[in-house]
Amino acid sequence: MHNAYLSIGTNIGDRQENLEKALKALNTESGITIHKVSSVYETDPVGFEDQEAFLNIAVAIQTTLDQETLLQKGLAIESELGRVRLIRWGPRLIDIDLLLYDDIIQQTETLELPHPRMTERAFVMIPLQEIAPTVAEPLLREDVLADQGINKTDIELIW
């Protein structure tokens, strides 16, 4: 069994429902067990800023899948839920990023682990710190995260 961490975000349509659908889809995948889900955070967009705010969560999973297969499962779920990629860092119905997979360091055409920009993004690191403080702590860069708009919400996800 392998331990992995995902970041899931959405800023189009019913954002809460999008997160819930992604969690349900992950939970029904063979070889994936959701271990923990963070609180829901509302965050300002990063990169392309002329868009709606995002809802973001971090998810700790256990899996029998290898990291490449897990990445492909995430991409397939995005597609099944209706994601269309138009603008880099643009609006998205759902985004499922593989952040960490065990202690593997990998750089291929299709996958880079740890996720190459995770430490620069409060919407990734703050939810990750909530569910896996010992994993997140060595990666935290307070100076980078300080000025990013992120607020914990009262939203309770049902999945």
97 part of the active site: yes
95 part of the active site: yes
Domain CATH for 13: 3.30.70.560
How far are the Cα atoms of 62, 88, 134 from residue 55, in angstroms, in the given order? 23, 18, 24
92 part of the active site: yes
| Residue 148: predicted pLDDT | 79
| Residue 21: predicted pLDDT | 97
Has residue 157 been placed in a domain?
no
Q: Number of folded domains in the chain?
A: 1
- Residue-range definition of the domain harbouring residue 101: 2-152
Has residue 122 been placed in a domain?
yes
| Residue 140: predicted pLDDT | 79
- Active-site residue identified among 92, 141, 143, 147: 92
Q: What phi-psi label fits residue 89: left (phi over 0), alpha (psi between -120 and 50 degrees) or beta?
A: left
- Active-site residue identified among 14, 15, 66, 83: 83
pTM for this predicted structure: 0.91
- Active-site residue identified among 14, 66, 85, 97: 97
Across the chain, which has 159 residues, the per-10-residue mean pLDDT values are: 97 96 96 97 76 92 97 93 68 91 93 90 93 90 76 94
